[in-house]
Structure 1
């Protein structure tokens, strides 16, 4: 940790730092565990979008869903509470199901968010739309078109024209985590907590689709979350296509097969 950053943390927290340890923060951010003289251990996250993330965490907390508490922000520094991680077990998955349902029960007035966001160089446009197919097509599936292979873009453009027939026009605009995979869930002694959000308002099935893209939550999660609307199986591939495209954009051709499978699943 640079000396200037150490000084900033001590000023913001009003406590000297006694130790720090790098944590795994994904591929797009720096995260540290920091020990303070008053006995607290906090998480420090660095990045260009930490102020936006702080607003998202506050929105999640206001919904009643568990997440880290924002302690301070300044410039590119976000300071949050940090709890001990424990292995996921059936009770942890059940608590995550309840937490996600609570998050999704918080409703907005439109689809989108107050500002754009980004996963590294991949910009995520969030300008509001009142039609869900319009939002999903323009602000998600086609958002990365300039940086995707041309043949994929042509198939996405064709798919975009079909979205009014594949997606509900006006599903409940639920508060979404927006980047929900198991790496963005912290299982603690108190249950599952939501971390590293990319919030916006949209169809709740989006979060569930991504959570199942890179893993398989147990039956306890499904039971505690509750039943999904009819037709969710078809929509799941369509919603999983967006994170697959993001991975293709960020990490290259190794994710082409993931994209291909979802395109074929929706007939494109």
Structure 2
């Protein structure tokens, strides 16, 4: 039995019948648990399990599907096991409805109650009232010490011009924060859960840009979610630049081409 599974069983106070490793992301360990009382659960590690639990609760409170939190401490998060049978023909439209519901939840400011992380990359979430300033400081310039100087200069030029490129005060929507296909579970024509969040409040287009980073939601998603805001296509490379920079820092300079492509698309 893995340490993760054993710790999860201790938190639940129920003997463990079986623990099976799950295929998960690159940044956390996941184990499927079968408990002696017949229930199934998922145990996972992460940068801040208690904070992830609060994020999942916020997603659920917004009316979007998320796994229920069964237990959490500083090292492990134990979650309800959700159906994950694959996407049916109506799933894309349901994802559009789910993301719209998530984004309808609104905060008073931009940011989150605490910082978070993707592996070794800190996600700073200090509260702010100026969205371009928030994006410049906490999503772009924060990477400067980890990049080649010529790219840093281009990012600094972009950051200096964000006041002309991003809305100053877009609605502070609840963001999933890491909304790519691998973090959406499907059961036929419906989304059964949004998982592995990195939530904060910000411009809704950030999630939409992330969703299109490695794929492209189709017409059914957009019809269900709603029409894009004017200028969304021009802002998309600026919002995609952040996850591209995070991937570079986590997985290496093989992502340099992606970073440079988004800078070029943004005209810097």
TM-score bucket of the superposed structures, by smaller chain: over 0.9
What residue in structure 1 maps to residue 265 of structure 2? 265
What residue in structure 1 maps to residue 187 of structure 2? 188
1:69 is the counterpart of 2:47 = no
Counterpart secondary structure, 1:237: helix
The farther-off stretch of 145-154 and 258-267 is 145-154
Counterpart secondary structure, 1:83: coil
Counterpart secondary structure, 1:151: helix
Describe the superposition over 1:202-258 as per-residue Cα deviations: whole angstroms up to 9, x where unpaired. Answer: 000000001001111222111111111111110111111111111111111111111
Describe the superposition over 1:56-88 as per-residue Cα deviations: whole angstroms up to 9, x where unpaired. Answer: 001111111101111111220100011231222
* Preserved contact between residue 21 and residue 33 of structure 1 (Cα < 8 Å): yes
* Preserved contact between residue 84 and residue 189 of structure 1 (Cα < 8 Å): no
* Preserved contact between residue 88 and residue 188 of structure 2 (Cα < 8 Å): no
CA distance in 2, matches of 1:236, 1:5: 38
What residue in structure 1 maps to residue 27 of structure 2? 28
What residue in structure 1 maps to residue 7 of structure 2? 8
* Preserved contact between residue 47 and residue 116 of structure 2 (Cα < 8 Å): no
1:58 is the counterpart of 2:64 = no
What residue in structure 2 maps to residue 212 of structure 1? 212
Describe the superposition over 1:88-110 as per-residue Cα deviations: whole angstroms up to 9, x where unpaired. Answer: 23311111111110110000011
What residue in structure 1 maps to residue 146 of structure 2? 147
Describe the superposition over 1:9-39 as per-residue Cα deviations: whole angstroms up to 9, x where unpaired. Answer: 2332232111111112211100110011222
CA distance in 1, matches of 2:223, 2:189: 19
Q: How many residues get paired?
A: 267
Gaps of 5+ in 1: none
Aligned residues: CA RMSD: 1.3
CA distance in 1, matches of 2:6, 2:136: 45
TM-score normalised according to structure 1 size: 0.96
Which aligned pairs between 1:1-268 and structure 2 lie closer than 5 A?
A: 1-2=1-2, 5-189=4-188, 191-192=190-191, 193-268=193-268
Change (3 A) 1:6 1:238: closer
CA distance in 2, matches of 1:68, 1:7: 20
Gaps of 5+ in 2: none
The runs of at least 4 consecutive aligned structure 1 residues that moved more than 6 Å come to: none
TM-score normalised according to structure 2 size: 0.96
Change (3 A) 1:189 1:40: farther
CA distance in 1, matches of 2:97, 2:186: 13
Change (3 A) 1:26 1:71: same
CA distance in 1, matches of 2:22, 2:105: 31
